[in-house]
Amino acid sequence: MGRGTLMLNNLDHLTRWESDWKGLRVVVAGLGLSGFSAADTLIELGAHVVVIDGADTEVNQSRGETLKIVGATDVLLGAAHLDELPLINGLAPQLLIASPGWNPRQPLLVAAAQAGIEIWGDVELAWRVREKEGRKLAEWVVITGTNGKTTTVSMTEAIFQAAGLRAIAAGNVGTPILDAIRDPEGFDVIAVELSSFQLHYTHTMSPLASVVLNIAEDHVDWHGGFEFYKADKAKIYERTRVAAIYNAEEPVVEAMVENADVTEGCRAIGFTTNVPGLSMVGVVDGLLVDRAFIEDRKNSAAELIALDQMGEVVPRHTASNAAAAAALARAFGVEPEAVAKGLSSFDSGDHRIQAVARRDDVLWINDSKATNPHAANAALGAFSSVVWIAGGLSKGVEYDELVTAHVKRLKAVIVIGTDTAALLGALQRHAPQVPVIMAEVRETGVETATGSAAAKDGSAVMAQAVKRAAEVATAGDTVLMAPAAASMDQFTSYAQRGNAFIDAVRALMEEETS
């Protein structure tokens, strides 16, 4: 939605499943998982739906045919449909549902905003249809931040389930929020991960509890500037009813809570990896404790879990995520025992500071989920002597602060990726003494089975990077693949990039033992 745009179609009456959605003329922009889910939901509600996507792929054609079968008015695929709003049954649309990846400056969205057409995302639609006769009404706790969202939302889900609640993690992770909303049994609570893109198109959500984990420069190209990015992140606190939870170690996040228009009676709850102050969750002598949701919080704290119960090594950012998840659960009313049970059983999964191998006292770590400098900062800070594999699609961010903070840890840097100028410039300015080794392989295209298109396969890139890292790493070093950049220049995803690293390390180990 364009900032400051006057809405000509007032859809305030659409607040539950049984509202009068029939005949509403809706354009759904994007046919990914969230777009498909939104279109399917609206068709079920009786709306007239036209779906548009610029990619005329086999996947989209299949999804489009499915939507036509269930009642879509039309499905328009291809770049030719991206510039003008379609008529629906001869009339202008009344609503546009934008998929998260659609930039607000995209011509179709600009045209909608200029025409006074409301623009929602799938999260806004889900919030408005969550109430349905005969279905359990789930509470929402919502999570955003530059990094740690998926870990925190999964921790929160684990805690709720350990408490015996019917709970699910949804939104920007795994299950589209509308699929969770339409579950026939319903849920007691949904832990909703929200990206800045999703928050941009969300307007009336009023969660039980909300949290911003952290803020760092990211997605500035999509938002048009860091201030706009921060403003969209801060929207998560609006209309929060019970607890607006913030990172007490980040003044920018604390200011978001101070300026938020929350519901009367909502509390501001801090979380920290240090000793907690009043109305905070924090860490004391290796224990995660609660000084926010207990009666005598001025003089005591409730023990939640010993951090060593969560794993042999618990990096600071993991403790921070656990504190945020615990605060969300405690705001809902979960008992300390369930917090401990959920966090102790939580598995952080692949590609996040994942130990891959140890040989000759060299530790190999896969942190492919570090897709920006802020995420890589957490990984670099966990080790003392690092051979760093870094680089990729930078998304317009800078690396000066990251390199300056960790220059003393860097033994060497192996640079991958095709968008290397910002990283190389920062290394030259702030770490001129650190050896920089370029992975010479750049081409990652391989023909698909049909020969019709090139697929990204960065295995050769990663194999070379691992080989170069092995040549400089010695006992006591950590080879850390934390790219601080997106993966799409040489890989299909951060997961493929991480798997390529794992495969390359294992191949190296086998080669050394043969």
Instruction: For residues 233 and 330, state if they share a domain.
Output: yes
CATH number of the domain bearing residue 187: 3.40.1190.10
pLDDT above 60 (res 499): yes
Which domain-ending residue is among 63, 94, 120?
120
Whether 20 maps to a domain, the answer reads no
Q: What angle do CA 338, 343, 344 make, to 5 degrees?
A: 100
Instruction: For residues 237 and 293, state if they share a domain.
Output: yes
41 among annotated binding-site residues: no
Alpha carbons 181 and 72: distance in angstroms, whole number: 21
Instruction: Please compute the mean of the pLDDT values over residues 393-413 and round it to a whole number.
Output: 94
Instruction: For residues 321 and 433, state if they share a domain.
Output: no
Whether 335 maps to a domain, the answer reads yes
Instruction: For residues 197 and 165, state if they share a domain.
Output: yes
Which domain-ending residue is among 120, 155, 179?
120
Instruction: For residues 96 and 144, state if they share a domain.
Output: no
CATH number of the domain bearing residue 83: 3.40.50.720
10 Å CB burial of residue 503 (0-12, 13-18, 19+) is: middle
CA atoms within 13 A on the CB side of 175: 18
Whether 425 maps to a domain, the answer reads yes
pLDDT above 60 (res 230): yes
Instruction: For residues 335 and 381, state if they share a domain.
Output: no
- Give the per-residue pLDDT at 218: 67
Mean residue pLDDT across the chain: 91
Nearest to 49 by CA among 78, 18, 64, 71: 71
Whether 16 maps to a domain, the answer reads no
CB 360 within 8 A of CB 476: no
Alpha carbons 460 and 491: distance in angstroms, whole number: 11
Whether 15 maps to a domain, the answer reads no
How many domains does the chain fold into? 3
| Interval 28-72: pLDDT, tens | 999 999 999 999 999 999 999 999 999 999 999 999 999 999 999
Residue 274: give the domain boundaries. Answer: 126-344
Instruction: For residues 485 and 406, state if they share a domain.
Output: yes
Amino acid at 501: F
pLDDT above 70 (res 219): no
- Give the per-residue pLDDT at 347: 76
Whether 349 maps to a domain, the answer reads no
| Interval 72-94: pLDDT, tens | 999 999 999 999 999 999 999 99
Instruction: For residues 156 and 256, state if they share a domain.
Output: yes
Instruction: For residues 361 and 486, state if they share a domain.
Output: yes
| Interval 232-250: pLDDT, tens | 999 999 999 999 999 999 9
Which domain-ending residue is among 344, 378, 405?
344
Whether 7 maps to a domain, the answer reads no
Instruction: For residues 230 and 340, state if they share a domain.
Output: yes
Instruction: For residues 241 and 375, state if they share a domain.
Output: no
150 among annotated binding-site residues: yes
pLDDT band at 456 (very low <50, low <70, confident <90, very high): low
- Give the per-residue pLDDT at 297: 92
CATH number of the domain bearing residue 410: 3.90.190.20
145 among annotated binding-site residues: yes
Instruction: For residues 156 and 265, state if they share a domain.
Output: yes
Whether 18 maps to a domain, the answer reads no
Beta bridge partners of 290: 281, 302
